[in-house]
Amino acid sequence: MADLKNVTDASFEQDVLKADKPVLVDFWAEWCGPCRALAPVLEELAEENSDKIEVVKVNVDENPGTAAKFGITSIPAVYGFKDGEHVASSIGAKPKPALEQEFADLLK
């Protein structure tokens, strides 16, 4: 399985907003059960679509600035970014087909 890159408040702009390709950002926390359930699904998406997108993780407890900037109030929250813009969101643990549908524009 793909190990997802951990992004911090300090590296968010470089790793996500200035990325060469679309990025899915998994906002999560260590104590969040649904977040842990979602992790293997995101790793699978990352592996199968590595040519099209990058999937990264932001721990909201360790990086409250980024979480606050994007109004994260419920986790897991997966946000899609393209060309520095937040273009799609998915809140809660969902099966892979649901995520593929919600982020279809980024997976083309």
Contacts of 80 (CB under 8 A, 6+ apart): 22, 23, 24, 25, 86, 87, 88, 89, 103, 105, 106
35, 53, 77, 99: which one is catalytic? 35
* Location of structure tokens 């998994």: 26
> Is there a catalytic annotation at residue 83?
no
> Is there a catalytic annotation at residue 32?
yes
4, 32, 38, 78: which one is catalytic? 32
Nearest to 44 by CA among 103, 4, 93: 4
Task: Please identify every residue annotated as catalytic.
Answer: 32, 35
